Amino acid sequence: MSTEPAWHALPAAEVERLWGGDGRGLSPHEVQARRQEHGANRLPAPPRRRLWRRALAQFNNPLIHVLLAAAAVSACLGHAVDALVIGAVLLLNALVGLIQEGRAEQALEAIRRLIDPQAAVIRQGQRCLVPAEELVPGDRVLLAAGDRVPADLRLLACHQLRIDESLLTGESLTVAKHVEAVALQAPLAERRCLAYSGTMVAAGSGTGLVVATGERTELGRIGRLLGSVVSLQTPLTRQMEGFATQVTTAILMASLGLFGLAVWGRGYAWDEAFMVVVGLAVAAIPEGLPAVVTITMAVGVQRMAQRRAIIRHLPAVEALGAVSVICADKTGTLTCNEMMVQAAELSTGHVEIGGAGYEPVGSVRFEQASHDARISLHRLALAAALCNDAELQQRHGSWCAQGDPLEAALLVLAAKVGLDVAALRQAWPRLAEIPFDGQRRDMTTLHRRPEGQEWILVKGAPERVFSLVAHEAHGAGQRLFDLVAWTRRTHRLASQGLRVLAVASGERDEASLGALERPSGLTLLGLVGLIDPPRTGARLAIAGCRRAGIQVKMITGDHAVTAEAIARQLGLSEHPRVVEGQQLDAREETDLAELARTSEVFARTTPEHKLRLVQALQSTGAIVAMTGDGVNDAPALKRADVGVAMGARGTEVAKQAAHVVLADDNFATIVAAVQEGRTVYDNITKVIAWTLPANGGEAFAIIGALLVGLPLPVTPLQILWINLITAVALGLTLAFEPPAGETMSRPPRLPGAPLLTPRLGRQTLLLCGLFSVGVFAVYLWEISRGHDLSWARTAVVHALVWMEIGFLLSVRLSPRQPLRPADLLATPVVRCGVLGVLLCQLAFLYLPLFQQAFATRPLGAQDWLVCWLTGLAVFAVVEWEKRRLGCI
């Protein structure tokens, strides 16, 4: 179509005709042809920052500024080589940062694409889910609460459809939609028969015909971009930046002091003293630290994605590591959400249903088989199949559910009873419906019976349906409803961990029946009990949480007795404390915190309860992860420290509100993500614990030499060399450390605990001392053997490198882990790092070019042995000290 008609001003039927629709949706052939004509339903990605900007950003750090200034002044003082080497170090550092950060950003973007939205469409009469990108004009799209509208749609049918269009119009109130055409001049916000791409379905349901995709949508036209550029900034990286400024200030102060001491105390010339100061600054500045911290974070995000937890906001990585309570939905997260009707309760007695999965074959065993019992079951199954939106499909030989698994299970029951669902749906056409609503916990449909009367069907939570009924079915007839007996039957099914559903019906023309919204005087047809087995691995994951000091709380809309039984099966607690939604309503905020803290199961809850629970738990100081999937879960997900949305089952609204999206909806994945979160934090601590003493030790050695009046044991250039090769090859290896076995056997980190603990400070001092002792020991030993200053300095450099290797190997090991030689070089990254450093050292010691540039000498076997022993000594002392104290 070349000129676009005004879709909002045309009747729905006309729009359908223009796009050649016959109500059954497009064929694959048409889809392909239209995709070629209109392209993919995609908006251009937000532009990435330009390369030069990203390169420049690498230098935007106070630590680097000081070094840049040092290089500039060295060059002015005629120390061209020093200036060049400082420049080279900075360039290499920036290059590593740029490459690693670029890779991390790309990986994050790729991870985001994993959760690209899907759209429910009707193609060739079949409902199917396709990636929203694959929609073409003319597609029939089904909308439900929580969906993001995947393209511009002309609405064909609406049921109480309300859409949040704030993205386009800025209007925060949701807009009620209808199918009638509006005036040609109607402004965008008043085109009630259109649904715009990118807006969110707040409530109700509808069907729409795609009239524009990709850049031709309203969203594309105004050039608004969905999604934002990936940012690698988090509170922790910002904390590191603050730390960098503090370190820089401290180093500048120390440098000034040293300068004064050199000039006035030791009689150094000004420029000579300046070069000593440069040496100190170069030695002490941990220039690689900010980049390594960011990279550690990005590595963690990638690992989480491999374990199927997709991080939407980077700061969630930190929060995950500190989570102390996980509130998880039962259905689908702790259980498989693959339902099967296992039992039914009729007024004539109990019925056991056999079979497996969604395969529509299985045994039906009556407690008391009779003609009445058979008719009762037949009526129940018929109603359950009609008041139902699911479909069963056979794919590659196995049966699967389209739509709500609970409803699919009811279709399977109907098939087992011998009903032909497709034929029934034609014979009993649906006239109206009120879709399932988690707040009301029921679904109502109105049908025309083959005999002509209208028939209301309601299915839902037993207590809700019981409040609408006056009679119970018995065979083909009915009798007065016995609430006590049915409550007992409900309890019997629920205590086996079954999800219980009641089904009722009523003739519409009966005078006693009220409106469809609130019918009364219905006839109860019976109860069905559905099994939803716990997920394999959920029990283990819950046990893992207990070891890791994390409380698990189950939140469900299900019956309290069902929830309690499942909680026991999952090992949540031997005697779980169950609280119902109503009890939560009755509590004041102050009492709620204690109740929330001490209870494990929350049943018959609504999404509003989730928000209250998050707030109550947070008020006790807990760091809360909360799962959610529905549109109403968004506030709780946003409020939680870690909001976790379901990738497969969750609505777009929930995914957008969440910090983390689970690709597999599995509880065990949350626990895996927590483990990775803890690992990231551990690794960052290790990076800092390793970097600070290494740099500080070199600085101590320079200050020490000046204080006792010795020549500098290492030149500034040599220090740069050490920092260059060790920061890149060794420091970075810590970013890739895998989770240690004990990560999940200790309690969560206390929120707000500083990264730089007093303990870390003490250890840094100890190591600075140790490094200085090592430096002077090697230096004096070499001089005492009659070697010249250059030889001694070369040996000191080599010893420093070995000490850093020794320290690195020790930092990697947990004090709770037995010391086994095999663990020392256990990961390929560490092996590569150590090998890389040693290869660089060989060049440094034996290649003439390096010998000239760095004034080095070719060390012999004895020197090697001594340097190696110094490294070993550092390793031994740190190991001894940390095992004595029980922490890094």
Which residues are known to be catalytic?
329
Q: How far is the CB of 502 from ligand ATP (least distance, A)?
A: 8
241-251 burial, b at 16+ Cβ within 10 Å, e below that, comes to bebbeebbeeb
Which segment (119-127, 192-200, 328-336, 672-680) binds ligand ATP by CB under 6 A? 328-336
What is the pattern of x (binds ligand ATP, CB under 6 A) and - over residues 580-609?
------------------------------
* 650 scored as a contact of ligand ATP (CB under 6 A): no
Residue number with the smallest Cβ distance to ligand ATP: 557
Contacts of ligand ATP in 155-184 (CB under 6 A)? none
633 binds ligand ATP (CB under 6 A): no
Q: Measured from the CB atom, is 100 or 556 closer to ligand ATP?
A: 556
Buried b (16+ CB within 10 A) or exposed e, 370-387: eebbbbbbbbbbbbbbbb
CB 495 within 8 A of CB 473: no
**Shorter beta-carbon distance to ligand ATP: residue 443 or 830:** 443
Q: Which two tokens stand for residue 497?
A: 């961990």
Contact range with ligand ATP by CB under 6 A, out of 84-92, 330-338, 534-542, 711-719: 330-338
- The two beta strands, 200-212 and 340-346, are unpaired
- Report the nearest approach of ligand ATP to the CB of residue 602 (Å): 9
**Stretch of residues binding ligand ATP (CB under 6 A), selected from 375-383, 456-464, 583-591, 838-846:** 456-464
The verdict on 737 binding ligand ATP (CB under 6 A) reads: no
277 versus 412: smaller Cβ distance to ligand ATP: 412
Q: CA-CA distance, 468 to 440, in Å (whole number)?
A: 12
Q: Give the interface segment with ligand ATP, choosing from 348-356, 435-443, 666-674, 809-817 (CB under 6 A).
A: 435-443
443 near ligand ATP (CB under 6 A): yes
Q: Is 407 in the site for ligand ATP (CB under 6 A)?
A: yes
Tell me which amino acid residue 717 is. Answer: L
Decide: is 406 part of the binding site for ligand ATP (CB under 6 A).
Answer: yes
Q: Does 561 bind ligand ATP (CB under 6 A)?
A: no
Kindly state the smallest distance separating residue 142's Cβ from ligand ATP, in Å.
16
- In the complex with ligand ATP, which residue's Cβ is closer, 532 or 652? 532
- Would you say 17 or 518 has its CB closer to ligand ATP? 518
**How far is Cα 659 from Cα 625, in angstroms, rounded to an integer?**
10
Site for ligand ATP in 523-552 (CB under 6 A): none
Q: Least distance from C-beta 460 to ligand ATP, angstroms?
A: 4
Q: Which of 296, 331, 348, 444 binds ligand ATP (CB under 6 A)?
A: 331
Angle subtended by helix axes 667-708 and 315-322, to nearest 10: 100
Examine residue 290 and tell whether it contacts ligand ATP (CB under 6 A). no
Output the CA–CA distances (angstroms, integers) from residue 215 to 43, 221, 692, in the order listed.
6, 6, 51
Bridge pairing between strands 175-176 and 152-164:
antiparallel
Q: Smallest distance, Å, CB 126 to ligand ATP? A: 21
Taking the complex as a whole, how short is the minimal distance between the CB of residue 542 and ligand ATP, in angstroms? 15
Both tokens of 754, joined, read: 């500083």
Minimum distance of ligand ATP from residue 571's CB (angstroms): 17
> Where is 530: in which H helix or E strand?
strand 522-531
User: Both tokens of residue 155?
Assistant: 């609405």
**Measured from the CB atom, is 441 or 535 closer to ligand ATP?**
441
Note the helical H segments in 388-447: 405-417, 421-427
Q: Is 460 in the site for ligand ATP (CB under 6 A)?
A: yes
Q: Beta strands 601-603 and 551-555: pairing type?
A: parallel
Pick the stretch among 137-145, 324-332, 426-434, 634-642 that binds ligand ATP (CB under 6 A): 324-332
The yes or no reply on residue 342 touching ligand ATP (CB under 6 A) is: no
Which of 441-449, 663-671, 763-771, 822-830 is the region at the interface with ligand ATP (rule: CB under 6 A)?
A: 441-449
Name which of 461 and 706 has its Cβ closer to ligand ATP.
Answer: 461
Kindly state the DSSP code that residue 95 receives in the 8-state scheme.
Answer: H
d(CA 455, CA 506): 6
Closer to ligand ATP at the Cβ: 281 or 625? 625
**Which CB sits closer to ligand ATP, 468 or 768?**
468
* One-character DSSP codes across 693-750: HHHHHHHHHHHHHHHHTPPPSS-HHHHHHHHHHHHHHTGGGGGGPPPPGGGGGSPPPP
Tokens of 259: 């300068």
- Indicate left, alpha or beta for 807 from its phi (over 0: left) and psi (-120 to 50: alpha): alpha
User: Any idea which residue has 């002392």 for tokens?
Assistant: 877
Binding of ligand ATP at residue 436 (CB under 6 A)? yes
**652 makes contact with ligand ATP (CB under 6 A):** no
> Measured from the CB atom, is 268 or 667 closer to ligand ATP?
667
CB of 630 to ligand ATP, least distance (A): 7
According to the binding rule CB under 6 A, does residue 564 interact with ligand ATP? no
Minimum gap (Å) between residue 692 Cβ and ligand ATP = 47
The gap from C-alpha 708 to its chain's centroid, in whole angstroms, comes to: 55
DSSP structure string for 793-808: HHHHHHHHHHHHHHHH
> Closest Cα partner for 526 from 462, 431, 588, 578?
462
In b/e form, how buried is each residue of 632-662, taking b as 16+ CB within 10 angstroms? bbbbbbbbbbbbbbbbbbbbbbbbbbbbbbb
403 lies in the site for ligand ATP, by CB under 6 A: no
499 near ligand ATP (CB under 6 A): yes
Confirm or reject binding of residue 330 to ligand ATP (CB under 6 A): yes
Nearer to ligand ATP, 344 or 722 (CB): 344
Candidate list 529, 557, 693, 833; residue touching ligand ATP; CB under 6 A: 557
Which amino acid appears at position 164 of this protein?
D
Binding string, residues 471-490; x marks residues near ligand ATP by CB under 6 A: --------------------
**Among 426, 321, 224, CA closest to 682:** 321
Q: In terms of CB distance, is 570 or 888 closer to ligand ATP? A: 570
**Residue whose entry in the numeric block shows the structure tokens 């409040």:** 467
Residues 6+ apart with CB under 8 A from 684: 236, 293, 296, 297, 755
Paired with 155 in beta bridges are 208
**Binding test (CB under 6 A) with ligand ATP, winner from 15, 121, 461, 805:** 461
Asked if residues 458 and 469 have their Cβ atoms less than 8 Å apart, the reply is: no
Judged by CB under 6 A, the residue of 207, 324, 505, 556 near ligand ATP is 556
What is the closest distance, in whole angstroms, from the C-beta atom of residue 568 to ligand ATP in the complex?
15
Q: Is residue 558 involved in binding ligand ATP (CB under 6 A)?
A: yes
- Which of these, 679, 626, 569, 763, lies nearest to 306 by C-alpha position? 679
CB 700 within 8 A of CB 768: yes
Adjacent-strand bridge partners of 399? 394
* Start-to-end Cα distance in the chain: 68
Residues in contact with ligand ATP, total (CB under 6 A)?
Answer: 22
Determine which residue in the list 8, 79, 154, 441 makes contact with ligand ATP, applying CB under 6 A.
441
CB of 457 to ligand ATP, least distance (A): 10
Nearer to ligand ATP (CB atom), residue 105 or residue 442: 442
Q: How far is the CB of 562 from ligand ATP (least distance, A)?
A: 7
Residue 575: CA count within 13 A, CB half-sphere:
0
What's the min distance (Å) between Cβ of 560 and ligand ATP? 10
Instruction: For residues 87 and 71, give the distance between their C-alpha atoms in angstroms, rounded to a whole number.
Output: 7
DSSP state of 537: T
Residue 118: strand pairing partners? 131
Query: Which positions lie near ligand ATP, rule CB under 6 A?
Result: 329-332, 404, 406-407, 436, 438, 441-443, 459-461, 499, 501, 555-559
